[in-house]
Structure 1
Amino acid sequence: MTPIRLFGAAALLSLSTMASASSFIGTTDMIGSALIGTTESSTDMSSGDDKIVLAAREDAASFVASRGDIRGAHLESALQVIRAKAPSLQATDLELAEAILAR
């Protein structure tokens, strides 16, 4: 990601979170806790799956900053891993991307 795109994504992210900071924090805490609980309690979670989720941070930042318009391949892979490991998790792609960033 070029420095200009990264700066733009960071600026959009900061502007979008200022308007609803408390709901963002609440959502991030809730989804983050659910993901952490799922990954920690899952005995079949491989380190490869965890690496896929961690590698998606940059794509997740772009996704959140663009309000879902920019979907990277790393994020798509991470969302598939998360949904496969926690099928009962009721979260939108945006909420999961925010949780990946908070991790």
Structure 2
Amino acid sequence: MHYLRLTSIAVLLTASCAASATSFVVTTDTLGSATVGTTDTTSDISSSFGDDKIVLAARDDAASFVASQGEIRGARLEAALQHIRQQAPQLQADDLQLAQAILVL
């Protein structure tokens, strides 16, 4: 009976380690791809809008937007997002990526 209990514990421990490793890989892959998308957007925006007054004025609103996971949308951020999309319609970025890029400026 003692052997069966030890075997069960070993199997459960092995399964939980494998699940943790898989979760870690999925998490790092997700974060890596998100970082690449944000980096590309950031470089596009910083080269084009680094001295744009409308975009720079939206930094506080962008910080609130990012910190609240998109719940808080300020008027200056809305104006900046609209301005960016008008000036660079080729950008394929969502609002959160643009707000993160504004914070980097």
TM-score class, shorter: 0.5 to 0.7
Larger CA Rg, structure 1 vs 2: 2
After the TM superposition, list the runs of 4 or more consecutive aligned residues in structure 1 that deviate by more than 4 angstroms: 19-25
- The residue that corresponds to 1:98 in the other structure is 100
Instruction: Count how many residue pairs are aligned between Structure 1 and Structure 2.
Output: 77
1:27 equivalenced with 2:29 (yes/no): no
Q: Which has the higher helix share?
A: 2
Distance in 1, matches of 2:60 and 2:31, equals 21
TM-score, length basis structure 1: 0.64
CA contact (8 A) 1:28 1:102 kept: no
Q: Any residues of structure 2 matched to 1:84-95 within 5 Å, and which? A: 84-95=86-97
TM-score, length basis structure 2: 0.63
- The residue that corresponds to 1:43 in the other structure is none
Percent of counterpart pairs with the same letter?
A: 56
Residue ranges of structure 2 left out of the alignment (5+ in a row):
1-27
C-alpha displacement at 1:86, in angstroms?
0.5
Residue ranges of structure 1 left out of the alignment (5+ in a row):
1-18, 41-46
